[in-house]
Each structure stands twice: as C-alpha cells, then as structure tokens.
Chain A
Amino acid sequence: MSRFGNLEFGDAKSRPVKAGADGTPIRSAGYFLEQAEKLYLAGDFELALRNYSRALEHNPAEYEGWFGQVRMLIELAEYEEALLWADKALEYYPEHPDLLAAKAVASSRTGHLEKAMAYTDNALSQKGCSSYVWLARAEVLLERRSATAAHCVSNAVAAGNASPRVELEAGRTLLRAGHCATALGYLRKAAGLLPGSALAWLELGRCQAALGFPETAMTLSQCLTLRPNWPPAREALNRFQNRGLLSRVQNFLRKPKRE
C-alpha cells in the first residue's frame, strides 16, 4: 500500500467495499468501518468499537476509526477512556473539530461543564464544522439549561443535510436532556428513514414512553423484532408495561399464561 492510499478524499462512508474473486467482501478497513456503522445503528456499541479497532489495525491513518472509537467509548459510558483516546487521536489529527467535540461531550457527561464549553468553543472555531460539532455544542448547552441549544440542533441537522443518522443523533441528544416533545419529531424521521436500525426504534420507543404514548409498546416490540432480547429494549418495554399499579397486577396475572 502506498502512502497516498491513506490520504482522505471525500466521505469515508461512500467508500466502496471491494469484493474478492469469489464475491466475498475483502476485509479491509472500509469493510470494518461499514460493519461498525451497522453495529452502531443496531445499538451494539461494544462490537462496533471492536470493528473500529479492527479497521485501525488495517489502516491506522483511518480517521473514521479513531473518531468512531471515541464515540463508542462515550456510548459505553467510559468517558475517562474516551477523553484519553480523543487526546491520542488528536496527536494524529490535531485540532480536529469532531475530536474536540467528542471531548466536549465526554467532559459534559462527566460534569465538567466549563471544560466542555471550552472544547465546543474550540471545535466551533475550527474550519468545516460537522453536524457532530453542532450536536456536541447542543448537548453542552442543554446540560447548562441554555435556551440556544435548539438553534444548535437545527444547525446540526442543516450541516448534516438532514441525513437520517444526524436526525437520530439530534433526537438522542434532545431525549437525553429530557426534551422529549422536540426529540420525538427527529426520532420519528430517523426511524422512518432507518427502519432497520434497532437503536432508532429503541430511542423512539423511549421517547414515546416518556411522553406516555400508547404506541410505545408497538415501537419497542418492533425494536425487539430487529434485535431479539436486547436488554435495553426489553427493559424499556417492561417498564412501560408496568407503569401503573393496575398494569402491574394485570401483567403479573398474565405472565403465567404466557409461559
């Protein structure tokens, strides 16, 4: 592989995965990145992280791999590790806005709001801010209960050309901050555009459950169809079904019949 093969041209997501002579895909960095993305959308962050690592094993200069690892560490609530890994990635991609934004998210979730704000300021001051940078900014502002967060979410969606992935992330950010009504629109769109994503259905189900919508059970069942016995979905569904005393008694009486 020549050194020019590692240069970044365009969007990594559009990178075609080459197939071998027998039709099976060649397990290159691109293949593992694609797998990681699929696993992320399925909500399997642990496996997605492993796939990002495998992508980097093939090509350590793959920026998507580094950024994906940091994001997955954040998803797995390993914020200290995420910060450490973002610092390492920043050694190779100094001042990269996405990595700075990831640091902002990790700092915000660990309660270091001042640091988080500084990181997002730094990320926004860089050229070519992605939707992730705007979403990180929105998350920090939401954590600080700032009213301008909604504007950042709109900017993120605009920067991401309203891609389903960005819609999903926007919805998740808003849902985490408890803005369920606003999140619902984004998550509905995301689930509509990514019908095969268990994560999108789970988040939509959680949002509907928080709002007390009766269609929650159907949404979460759909999620469980895509990923059977997924603990977060199963837990969310159980919690929704057992939300009232009467429902609790009904479910208690119904359970033996099912078995």
Chain B
Amino acid sequence: MPGQAACFRCGSLLEAKAGAVEVHPPRAPAWKKPFRQVARRMRRYSALRAAEGLARRSGDRTASAFGRLGLPGPSRAANEPRWRELWLALHDAAVALALSIVPGLAHALRHQFGAISSYVISWLVSLVMGILFFGQSLGAASMACAFVLHAWIAMDAVVATKRFKDQMTALEKVGWRLCGIGFLVILLYAAYGQVQRVVGFTVGVAGVTVPEDRVARGDVILCHFLPADLEPLTLKRGDLVLVHVRELLAADGGTGMPGSYAGEMVGQLIALPGDRVGVTQAGFIVNGSALDVRQFPLSASLRGQSASLGLGKDEYFVTMEWRAQVHGVQVTPEVAAGNCVYRREDVLARGVMRWSPFWKRGFLKEFE
C-alpha cells in the first residue's frame, strides 16, 4: 500500500506523523475530580433508578418529572402498593424508635449491634461524664453529646429497618435522619429535664460559706427536692437548703430594692418554725443558746447587725450572702434579718452532697 496514509480496509494509520500527531492525552485537574465524582454518583444513581424501574415515588408529579427528563416514569398501578409498604415501613420505624429508648436495643435485637457499638459506648461515656459533671459546663456539653448520640442511634435504627430502606431514596434517608435527629434532640432534652424531676435531684450554687462542712460560697451543691407535704420539723438546723430568693425587701416590705438578686440559691438553715433567733456580733442565738460560729457562720451581710425575731409556724431562718447592690439604701437590722426569713414554699430542696468542685465531692454533715 505504498502512498496510502491509511489502511483501505480498516482505516488504520499507516504513516507516522510524529510531528503532527498529539500523543499526550488531556488530564483532569485535581480540583475537578471531587466535583466530578459527586456529579457521577448522582447521575449513576438516577440512571440506575430508571434502569431498574425503582422510580416508585408517589404521585403524578414524579412521573411528570421523569417525563421531562425523558425517562420512563412509574405507572399508577406501580404506585398503589407503595402506600401499604410505606405504612408498614412507618410501623417498623415506630417500633425501632420505641425500642431505641434504650440506645442500641433495636440494633441488638436485629443482631446489628456491632454497627452501632462505638456510638453506644460514646453515648455511655457522654452520659457518665454528664452525670459526673452535672451542673457544670463540661457536664452540659457531655449531656448535649449524649442527646445527639442517642438521637443518632435511634434514627439509625429507624433508617436501618429493611422496609424503610427499601422505600426511601438515599436523599430521603438523609432528610429523615436530619429531621429525626433534630426532633429527637429536642424531645430528649425535655425528657432528660423531666428525669431530673422524677429522680428528685437538682443542683444549686452555695450562697454561704460553712467552714465546718468545707462548703465555700460558689460551690455547687447537689440537692434533693422536698416533698410538698413535708413536716415542718423534718429539716434540721445547719442543713443547706435551696431556697427561692426574692428581691431584697425594703423595711416597709413590699417593694424590692434595685439590683438585688432574685432566683434560686443554697443557704444555711439557722432556725426552724417557732424558734426565736437573735443576731449578735458573736453569732446566732437560737432559743437562748448561742450556736457554734464554725458550724453556723454569720454571713457578711449580717455581720455587725443586731436583731432578734420570732419565727412563725411556717417560717425558716436561712442565711446567705445577698447579691444586693443597694447603693445608698440603708440596710437596717430589721431589713437584714427580715430578708433571712423564708416561708415553707420558698424552701425547695435540701442539700445532700458537695457536687462541685470535683475534688470536694462528698456528703454534707448534719450538725444536729
């Protein structure tokens, strides 16, 4: 075939035109590859759905969308059983969700615990950390982690159910998972809040320093809620109690002083209903006997004051450092002493343990 540039039968190149022929192929820039990969996956997924006839999405809207893309859409007949399958899938999902009240139980019953074991362990660690550091920022962060992990495990149990898997597309699964986790985190947050009430414990910040009990102002005290029908004399002198602090009252009563603290705080119970309590420079005198200053210290607000008052049937004398910034307002002994008197409904819980700082953790003493 002299003189021929290409084979007359197959068209193969017969002349080497090294100078003219470009032999180096074009290359894809590295930055383009991940984007291409995403596009490819999406294209493959939709192509596969079309090829397998998996396009069983409900309604004509999807069918018309497939029509616009030039793909065969699902027929109405194909859609009809979907509702029943969808209902069964939701039923399975609800069972999985209910079982996931105990994280990992749904997986364990389906022999899929291995897939979620690391999440369950992380949840347990977060929960233990949350309990150990309850009332602190680390505890709150750990508890938040526990909520999210619990929600994740629950949603994984839902998404992993076979019927759910068959019925939902990958995108739908992601949507379900995200929405479910968001909803469950809120639900769990509320549930965990209720657990605190059910278990009956809470924490409060100490507003008093008691050297004998190693309690300093600002420490976090674990408190046990008091029952509503509590006998007035169940509490003992020296107990730390969580009280609902009202605004510092003026001498005439009624109006609160500006800047005074209102909220919940832990104070020390000095006198019980019916007692007569006196405040002197040396300390407290209850029913004529002086109390040990190490066990019943005078708060800074009462230091230098001198007052005496009798408590009613339903009144407790509780000391703490007020967080009042009563500039220019005269705090008379009556005002000071009057603001230490709390009614039974204001005493919320009784201190049980020094909770934070961690190294001080331990049960509180009883002085009487």
Q: Which of B1-49 contact A (CB under 8 A)?
A: 2, 6, 10-18, 21-28, 33, 36-37, 40-48
Does A111 contact B46, Cβ atoms closer than 8 Å?
A: yes
The stretch that binds A, out of B80-88, B114-122, B127-135, B233-241, is: B114-122
Inter-chain CA distance A59–B21, complex, in Å, is 10
Say if the beta carbon of A73 comes within 8 Å of chain B: yes
20 contacts between A and B (CB under 8 A): A3-B2, A3-B14, A56-B23, A57-B18, A60-B16, A60-B17, A61-B15, A61-B16, A78-B33, A85-B26, A93-B10, A93-B12, A93-B13, A109-B40, A111-B40, A111-B43, A111-B47, A112-B47, A244-B114, A245-B117
Say if the beta carbon of A27 comes within 8 Å of chain B: no
Residue of A nearest to B51 (CB): A144
Q: For residue A245, which residues in chain B have a CB less than 8 angstroms away from its CB? A: 114, 117-118, 121
Say if the beta carbon of A181 comes within 8 Å of chain B: no
Does B18 contact A69, Cβ atoms closer than 8 Å?
A: no
Does B13 contact A92, Cβ atoms closer than 8 Å?
A: yes
Interface of A is mostly: helix
A81: which of B6, B15, B25 is its contact (CB, 8 Å)?
B25
Q: For residue B17, which residues in chain A have a CB less than 8 angstroms away from its CB? A: 60
Q: Which of A48-101 contact B (CB under 8 A)?
A: 49, 53, 56-57, 59-61, 63, 65, 69-70, 73, 77-81, 84-85, 88, 92-95
A3-B16, A109-B40, A109-B44 known; 4 new pairs, CB 8 Å cut-off, are: A6-B15, A60-B18, A77-B37, A111-B43
Q: For residue A248, which residues in chain B have a CB less than 8 angstroms away from its CB? A: 118
Q: For residue B114, which residues in chain A have a CB less than 8 angstroms away from its CB? A: 244-245
**Smallest distance from the beta carbon of B292 to chain A beta carbons, Å?**
54
Does B25 contact A69, Cβ atoms closer than 8 Å?
A: yes
The winner among B13, B27, B46, B52 for most chain A CB atoms within 10 A is B13
Inter-chain CA distance A53–B17, complex, in Å, is 15
B interface residues with partner A (beta carbon < 8 Å): 2, 6, 10-18, 21-28, 33, 36-37, 40-48, 51-52, 114, 117-118, 121
**Smallest distance from the beta carbon of A32 to chain B beta carbons, Å?**
11
Does A63 contact B28, Cβ atoms closer than 8 Å?
A: no
A interface residues with partner B (beta carbon < 8 Å): 1, 3, 6-8, 49, 53, 56-57, 59-61, 63, 65, 69-70, 73, 77-81, 84-85, 88, 92-95, 109-114, 143-145, 244-245, 248
Inter-chain CA distance A242–B22, complex, in Å, is 47
Residue of A nearest to B29 (CB): A78
Residue of B nearest to A78 (CB): B28
**Smallest distance from the beta carbon of B171 to chain A beta carbons, Å?**
16
Q: Known interface pairs A111-B47, A112-B43, A144-B51. Does A6 touch B26 (Cβ–Cβ under 8 Å)?
A: no
Q: Known interface pairs A3-B15, A244-B114. Does A77 touch B33 (Cβ–Cβ under 8 Å)?
A: yes
A78: which of B27, B43, B47 is its contact (CB, 8 Å)?
B27
Inter-chain CA distance A116–B236, complex, in Å, is 86
Q: For residue B36, which residues in chain A have a CB less than 8 angstroms away from its CB? A: 79-80
Q: For residue A79, which residues in chain B have a CB less than 8 angstroms away from its CB? A: 36, 40
Q: For residue B25, which residues in chain A have a CB less than 8 angstroms away from its CB? A: 49, 53, 69-70, 73, 81, 84-85
What 9 pairs between A and B have smallest CB-CB spacing?
Answer: A111-B43, A111-B44, A56-B23, A60-B21, A92-B13, A78-B28, A94-B11, A85-B25, A113-B47
The winner among B6, B11, B41, B47 for most chain A CB atoms within 10 A is B47
Q: For residue A63, which residues in chain B have a CB less than 8 angstroms away from its CB? A: 12
Inter-chain CA distance A22–B112, complex, in Å, is 66
Inter-chain CA distance A93–B45, complex, in Å, is 33
Q: Known interface pairs A112-B43, A245-B117. Does A60 touch B26 (Cβ–Cβ under 8 Å)?
A: no
Q: For residue B41, which residues in chain A have a CB less than 8 angstroms away from its CB? A: 111
Does A81 contact B52, Cβ atoms closer than 8 Å?
A: no
**Smallest distance from the beta carbon of B229 to chain A beta carbons, Å?**
50
**Smallest distance from the beta carbon of A41 to chain B beta carbons, Å?**
21
Does B12 contact A145, Cβ atoms closer than 8 Å?
A: no
Q: For residue B121, which residues in chain A have a CB less than 8 angstroms away from its CB? A: 245
Inter-chain CA distance A110–B48, complex, in Å, is 12
Does A81 contact B26, Cβ atoms closer than 8 Å?
A: yes
**Smallest distance from the beta carbon of B164 to chain A beta carbons, Å?**
21
Inter-chain CA distance A80–B117, complex, in Å, is 42
**Smallest distance from the beta carbon of B35 to chain A beta carbons, Å?**
12
**Smallest distance from the beta carbon of A259 to chain B beta carbons, Å?**
24
Does A84 contact B23, Cβ atoms closer than 8 Å?
A: no
Does B14 contact A61, Cβ atoms closer than 8 Å?
A: yes
Inter-chain CA distance A60–B24, complex, in Å, is 11
